[in-house]
Amino acid sequence: MKTKITLLTLLFIGLNISFAQQEEQLEECKNKLSIFHEYVKAKNFDAAYDPWMAVRNECPKFNNAIYVDGDKILNHKIKNATGADKIPFINDLLKLWKEKETHFASRTPKGKYAAMACQLMYNNRDVLNKTDEELYECYDAAYKLDKATFTNPKSLYTYFSLMVDLYDAKKKPAKDLFNKYDDVVEKVEEEVKNYSLKLNKLIEKEDAGTELTKKEGRYKRSYESYLKNYDLISGSIDQKLGDRANCENLIPLYKKDFEENKNNAVWLQRAARKMSEKECTGDPLFFQLVNAYHELSPSANSAYYLGILKDKQKKSNEAIKFYEQAISLETDNFKKAKLYNTIALKLKAKRNYGKARNYFRQSLKLNPSNGRPYLSIAGMYAASANNCGDTNFNKRAVYWLAAQEARKAGRVDPTQKKNAAKSVANYSAKAPQKSEIFSKGNSGQVIKIGCWIGASVTVPKI
């Protein structure tokens, strides 16, 4: 009996010692975390390194700050090392992200961190001796692992850029290049939609006269930043593809694969879209693609392409009917906004300004954070200045209306601020100046603009 009591007593004492040691270790980790975190805030990353490593090794589950600050510390080490001296820190950062996934899985989206690992290796490919094939396979695996969180604009561009380089080196066929282009472009469009919808809610709140909270203001700046970056890489992706996707390359490829894919709606849609974008719509193959696509899967897209066919045949009225059908079939408001804008641009090109403006405004109702329709309306006003006034002064007053529309574009759309500012300056310079307003004596008066514009503008007060 005494023996049992002694064993229990020893066990109890041992547990107490163990708990005490754990408490002491946690307290020490807490103190060291506070030390390295303050160093990181002061950007003294070298001083932060040792206490950070101690906490990382002793208490890896203690706090997510170990991984957030560790990322900054190791990136600093990589940036300030040269040549092969970077390699241990690069490998350690890759290891850190794996550790974070182990201890804080919910805060470590798989696609995001896999893409970050690929980007780190790509940025340091010279010291790591990584080939384009190895890097592309890394990105491809990350994309397939978790496409939903593979969203970084720079990584999406790098992923596609590597495919182009491999195609140019004759290591990837044209089919793979065009498929990857479609994959990445559709992913970018998906993310643009995601951030546009978020931004729309905040713009609608502001338009209703309600001031955004500080938190909403931060969100708005974040959404605008993402949209600007996606806009930049969209242009870069198209520039990188260049004339590799010209009609001379596309038509033989799609002709060769048509029979195999004539019952594949996704393939038909992508092929029709690419031929439309590259102005290959005059080839009989486009007619085949569109009709096969519409028969297989009648949709907003297929109706839109039928409209293009009718336009090619100079049957404008029939084309408009198909465009209207496309709009009625589209159930996604963001995509419907794009359709309205695309059709409006076609009408604008034909100088059917009144109808085009109606379509642009419908697009803005559905996607108010897209400034391009405002700039298009401004451009139509400016193009009509000579025809929509009864005096020279009133004709030039149309430019004030144009400037008003351009200002709206800059206010709502982060990707169009520069274009909007240039347009406003251009239109304002063409409008009547202060000296003319003074000589006319019409400061503050309302001028009615006729013809298709049918709007009023107030002369600026001087």
- Give the side-chain half-sphere CA count within 13 A for 2: 0
What pLDDT does 302 receive? Answer: 93
Sign of CA dihedral 49, 51, 52, 55: positive
φ, ψ for residue 450, nearest 5 deg = -90, -145
pLDDT averaged per 10 residues in sequence order, the chain, 462 residues:
51 50 84 96 97 96 96 98 97 98 97 98 97 98 97 97 98 96 96 97 94 96 96 95 93 95 95 93 94 93 93 89 94 96 94 97 97 98 93 94 97 96 97 92 91 94 84
* Residue written as token pair 């709009």: 327
- Nearest to residue 160, comparing CAs of 259, 268, 239? 239
CA distances from 284 to 288, 289, 304, 309, 315 (A): 7, 9, 17, 10, 17
Distances (CA, A) of 320 to 80, 287, 346, 355, 444: 60, 18, 10, 11, 41
pTM given for the model: 0.87
How far is 251 from 283, CA to CA, in rounded Å? Answer: 8
The residue behind tokens 């490998």 is 91
Q: Please report the pLDDT score of residue 329 as a whole number.
A: 95
Q: And the tokens for 357?
A: 């403006």
Q: How far apart are CA 167 and CA 291, in angstroms?
A: 31
CA distance 90 to 126: 13
- The confidence score (pLDDT) of residue 14 equals 47
